[in-house]
Structure 1
Amino acid sequence: MSNVVDVVLETVRSVSTLETDAEIRLDARLFGDEDLGIDSIGALEMLTILERELSLEIDDDELSFERLVTVQDVIDLVNELIAASATAVD
């Protein structure tokens, strides 16, 4: 597993309602009571942690409940931001 996936999974686990040792599926839904049970405060905390841990800046316009539905959506967003920042440096 890549570092990004590990960081996202650890971060999601820390803000979710899951047991500490529960497995997190990449298709697990972030919000609501169905899967991970993350609320709006948990979502903000998750994004703040990811920004700090991965040295990213996540703009508000990139965030929406429609875009970030599953754990995989968060991983995809983080990978896009990393790729964009690498391109900006080149």
Structure 2
Amino acid sequence: MARATLPLQSVATRRSRQLIRDTWGQPVLDVATPIGIRNTDAMLMAVAEATGTEVPAEVTAERGRVIDAMTDSHTYVHGKRVALAGDPDLVLG
């Protein structure tokens, strides 16, 4: 049996999450869709905790490169306005 279930949607899978918990007693990792640094960090930490492992060094190094890229692009995107439309799981992150 799997150690946990990791649904990558929060809005569309609410009933499915509860069914998995109630029917099979399977732990369900309740994390937001891994879009952005905060949500991706939360997802990686939840998976690491559920599996009893640590986040791989390669992933940590890649995170550092992403932070650098975000810092470099900050002056171009800060203060800009955008409009988003789409699936709630993707738009709400």
TM-score interval, normalised by the smaller of the two chains: 0.3 to 0.5
Query: Highest Rg: 1 or 2?
Result: 2
Q: State the TM-score, normalizing by the size of structure 1.
A: 0.35
TM-score using structure 2 length: 0.34
